Structure 1
Amino acid sequence: MNRLVWLCIGRTGACMGTMAFVGALPVLRHTWHMSAGTAGTIQTAFNLSNAIALLAAAWLSDSFGAKRVYLWCTWAGTIALACFALFARSPETALVLIIFVGLTQGGSYAPALMLAADLSLPSKRGRAMGMMLAAGSFGYLLSVFFSLWATQTFGVAAGFGVCAVGVFAGTAIGQLSLAGMQPAKHTKHDSGKANAPAFRWRSTFTPVAVCLLIGYIAHCWELLGHYAWTPSLLATALEPLHLNAVTMALIVGAVVHLSGMLATTAIGTLSDRLDRSKVLVFVGGAGAACSLLMGWSIHWGPAWTVVIASIGSFFILGDSGVLSAAMTDEVPPASLGRVMGVRSVLGFGSGALAPAAFGAAFDATHQWASAYATLAAGGVAACAAAVFLSQLTARSALRERALGSNHLR
């Protein structure tokens, strides 16, 4: 297997801490006598520390290299999760320790995508980004299952300890896969732009980059709202079946994360063969439609909810790798880390508000359909940004053909 495949395998293990708290939450709420508000506060602390780490790590990657920053964060992630397993014994201690887990888990995200870009040809970056994101999604699935199973069977420490072992194994595999790797030498031919000696906002955030940025922000709004509330939708739909917690965790994990894992690879590969902007238009529109249908599916029975949520997960996460690949195509390599950092903070920052907007809509109407319409708005915005991107791409192609004709004359 090549270096990229081994790194993706390592990335799966390294992501086993990201959803550990969410997976163990059904047990933790009972064991620690937590209210929903307290549990939400702990998860919010994780999300905020995650967003801070996204910006810092991406920015540092331009100075120290993506490989070095990725390994720093993943090794620190092993330590942070082990400390959580050993010392988190109450909501108060968990609130403090979850911040360190968030800082390390978030810090590895952007460097991982940059490494995927370095390890692939420009013509295959959609597939490479999709593989890296799929590896992370599989890690999320494993963290949900193992944290719930081990916490329920052996206790809180065991639940997070098992995930810490997974992070350690993934980090070790990542270290081995990157051994001897030299920083990629980017050229004008590689990215369409020569390395820039300084970061300039106006020249870096071109109209194409701005469209991609808006599309990513809208994508994060829909995705993070989906991650937060679709498990509750599924639990409500499946409640009449009286499933046990482990079975429920498997179904939720498969619907939300396994479907998305398949999507990033498949749609990323498709974008390498077709125009990326056209793929983004289709996926954004499909994601918005599925968000609306998920809200209505609660009235159609458990099977319909599971099927529609699975299809929705496929399209809602599916454009993530395409947006990342398109951004690496557009932005000069010397500025990529900082752009990815800004993108992550804006995307995850706005996305952090989506669950609250969803909840407010649900409280006001008591209708899943109305609440999911707030998420569909993100899909519509992503689709609109992709339409503008497609127009910009078409105009640029026309100009290039015109210049080529004039040159031949």
Structure 2
Amino acid sequence: MSRLTLLCAGRAGTCMGTMAFAGALPVLRNAWHMDAATAGSIQTAFNLANAVALLVAAWLCDSFGARRVYLVSTWAGAVALGFFAMFARSPHTALISIVLVGLTQGGSYAPALILASELSPPSRRGSAIGMMLAAGSLGYLLSLFFALWGTQTFGVAAGFGVCALGVVMGASAGHICLTGASPSEREQTARPRARPESLSWRGMFTPVALCLLVGYVAHCWELLGHYAWTPSLLAHAVAPLKLSAPWAALLIGAVIHLSGMVSTAVIGVVSDRWGRSKVLIWVAAAGALCSVLMGYATQWGPAWTIFIAMMGSFFILGDSGVLSAAMTDEVSPCHIGRVMGVRSVVGFGAGALAPTAFGAVYDVTHEWTLPYATLAIGGICACVAAILLNQLIVRSRLPIRPFESGNA
């Protein structure tokens, strides 16, 4: 097993806490007597804490190395999720506990992407980052399944406790993978320290990087709103089928995250061959269309809802790896941690508001159409940013090329 494959397996485990609250939301709304706005606010608190952790962790990668930051974050994530399982018993206690989970879970995201880019050659960077994101999607699927099935069958503590155990296993796999490296391999997975004189915002954010930043912010708005509320949409849609708790949880998890897992792997490979900007245009446009259709899907029956949600997950998550690969292509290695940190806090900070906005619109309309239209705005903006990106590349007559350290 290659080091990248083992790290991806560990990443799947560490992501088992990310979707725990969203997965258990259909149960928790009734058990804790929450309206949609309150539920969305708790998810927003998680996303904001996640954004802060993303910024700090990515920034620290330039000074301490992605390997060290990744390991500290994953072990802290296991402790925080265990704390949530023991003490979250109401919206108020969940709000406090979810912030701790977000602060730790978010810390492993940027280091994982940086490690994936360093453990692969530039020509396969899109597929490597796609593999890492696919592993995350597998963890989200497991998180969604165990959280929903566990809380329905055994109670809140047991459902989140199983997810915490998965994070422990993932952290252990990452620890074995990264601490077992030879000295030369450890040097390859350590980010070079940036020279103080080289740190300028103009140097870090070129016009191409700014287009990618805007596209990522819009992508986060659509994705985080989708992750927070589509489990509830599917639970509502499949209720007439009268599925048992395990089968309903497995179906919902597979629809949302299995298709997303496939998409990041497939679209990452496609972007290596056909170019990042062209792929971003079509994937963002397809994601926006699917968001609109999901708002109408419940009117067409369970089968159509499942199919459209699956297609939505495929395209809404599909551009994530491409955006990250393009950013690592464009930005100097001595800046990448800071750029990824700024990108993450801006993207996840804006996206954190999507679940609350969705819930507020739902409380007013009591139907799914307009709330999902608010998410489609993100896909439209991401498509426009990709079009501008493509124009910049065409005008310069140069593709986005992997950054060569000799040009620093």
CA distance in 2, matches of 1:159, 1:367: 29
| Displacement after TM superposition at 1:205 (Å) | 0.4
Q: Is the 8 A contact 1:196 1:332 kept in 2?
A: no
Which is worse superposed, 276-285 or 221-230? Answer: 221-230
CA 1:298–1:31 in 2, change beyond 3 Å: closer, same or farther?
closer
Alpha-carbon separation, structure 1, partners of 2:399 and 2:294: 43
Gaps of 5+ in 1: 188-193, 401-409
Q: Following the alignment from structure 2 to structure 1, what is the Cα–Cα distance between the partners of residues 306 and 137?
A: 18
Letter in structure 2 aligned against 1:239: A
Give the letter for the 2:211 counterpart.
C
Q: How many residues are paired up? A: 395
Task: Tell me by how many angstroms 1:242 deviates.
Answer: 2.8
1:260 aligns with 2:260: yes
Q: Which amino acid aligns with 2:372?
A: Y
TM-score, normalising length from structure 1? 0.89
- Per mean C-alpha deviation after superposition, the further-off stretch among 283-292 and 328-337 is 283-292
User: What do residues 7-54 of structure 1 show as CA deviations (whole Å, max 9, x unaligned)?
Assistant: 000000111111222323344445555555554443332222111111
Given the alignment of the two structures, is residue 177 of structure 1 paired with residue 170 of structure 2, yes or no?
no
The 3 A distance-change label for structure 1 pair 27 and 360 is closer
Distance 2:359 2:32 in 1: 24
Question: Could you tell me which residue of structure 2 aligns to residue 320 of structure 1?
Answer: 320
Specify the alignment match of 2:67 in structure 1.
Answer: 67
- CA offset at residue 96 of structure 1? 2.3
Residue 332 of structure 1 aligns to a residue whose secondary structure is coil
| Aligned-pair CA distance for 1:160 | 2.1
Cα distance in 2 for partners of 1:308, 1:345 equals 30
Q: TM-score normalised to the size of structure 2? A: 0.90
Which residue of structure 2 lines up, in the alignment, with residue 116 of structure 1?
A: 116
Q: Report SS of the residue matched to 1:316.
A: helix
Larger Rg: 1
Q: Name the counterpart of 2:150.
A: 150
**1:338 alignment counterpart:** 338
Q: Residue 210 of structure 2 aligns to which amino acid in structure 1?
A: V
Cα separation, 2, equivalents of 1:280 and 1:37:
32
Counterparts of 2:28 and 2:363 in 1: how far apart (Å)? 25
Contact 1:66 1:112 in 2 (8 A): yes
Residue in structure 2 matched with residue 199 of structure 1 by the alignment: 199
Shift of 1:3: 0.6
Q: What letter matches 1:49 in structure 2?
A: A
Q: Secondary structure at the match of 2:299?
A: coil
1:168 maps to a residue whose letter is V
Query: Residue 373 of structure 1: CA displacement?
Result: 2.3
Please show how residues 275-354 of structure 1 align to structure 2 within 5 Å: 275-354=275-354
- Relative to structure 1, the CA distance from residue 115 to residue 306 in structure 2 (aligned partners, 3 Å threshold; closer, same or farther) is same
Change (3 A) 1:35 1:225: closer
- Return 366-375 or 59-68, whichever deviates more: 366-375
Contact 2:36 2:359 (C-alpha < 8 Å) held by counterparts: no
Residue in 2 aligned with 1:407?
Answer: none
| 1:308-365 CA distance string (max 9 Å, x none) | 1111110110000000000000011111111111111111111122233334544555
Go from structure 1 to structure 2 and tell me whether the alpha carbon gap of 1:196 and 1:272 turns closer, same or farther (over 3 Å shift). farther
Contact 2:237–2:301 (CA under 8 A) maintained in structure 1:
yes
Segments of 5+ residues of structure 2 without an aligned counterpart are 401-408
Shift of 1:57: 0.5
Deviation at 1:199, TM superposition (A): 1.6
| Paired position in structure 2 for 1:396 | 396
C-alpha contact 1:292 1:373 (8 A) present in aligned 2: yes
Query: What is the rounded CA distance, in whole Å, between the counterparts of 2:230 and 2:189 in structure 1?
Result: 42
Q: Secondary structure at the match of 2:268?
A: helix
TM-aligned CA distance change 1:232 to 1:128, over 3 Å = same
| SS of the residue 2:138 aligns to | helix
Moved more, 306-315 or 160-169: 160-169
In structure 2, distance between residues paired with 1:186 and 1:195:
15
Q: Name the structure 1 match of 2:373.
A: 373
Partner of 2:403: none
Alignment of 1:227 with 2:227, yes or no, is yes
Contact 2:294 2:309 survives alignment (8 Å):
yes
The equivalent of 2:404 in structure 1 is none
Q: CA RMSD of the aligned region, Å?
A: 2.5
Between the aligned partners of 1:185 and 1:41, the Cα distance in structure 2 is 37
Structure 1 window deviating more from structure 2 (13-22 vs 262-271): it is: 13-22
Q: 1:45 to 1:246 in 2, by over 3 A?
A: same
The CA distance in 1 between the partners of 2:399 and 2:272, in whole Å, is: 22
Tell me the distance in 1 between the aligned counterparts of 2:25 and 2:297.
Answer: 26
Q: Quote the offset at 1:132 in angstroms.
A: 0.6
> Any conservation in 1 of the 2:393–2:399 contact (CA below 8 Å)?
no
Partner-residue secondary structure (3-state), 1:333: coil
Residue 240 of structure 1 corresponds to: 240
Mark the CA change 1:92 to 1:237 in structure 2 (over 3 Å): closer, same or farther. closer
1:239–1:26 distance in 2 versus 1, CA, 3 Å: closer
Change (3 A) 1:186 1:196: farther
- Displacement of 1:217: 0.8
Shift of 1:144: 1.4
Contact 1:51–1:106, Cα closer than 8 Å, also in 2: yes
Relative to structure 1, the CA distance from residue 11 to residue 32 in structure 2 (aligned partners, 3 Å threshold; closer, same or farther) is same
| In 1: Cα distance, 2:320 partner to 2:392 partner | 20
Structure 2: how far apart are the matches of 1:114 and 1:43? Answer: 26
Paired residue type of 1:73: S
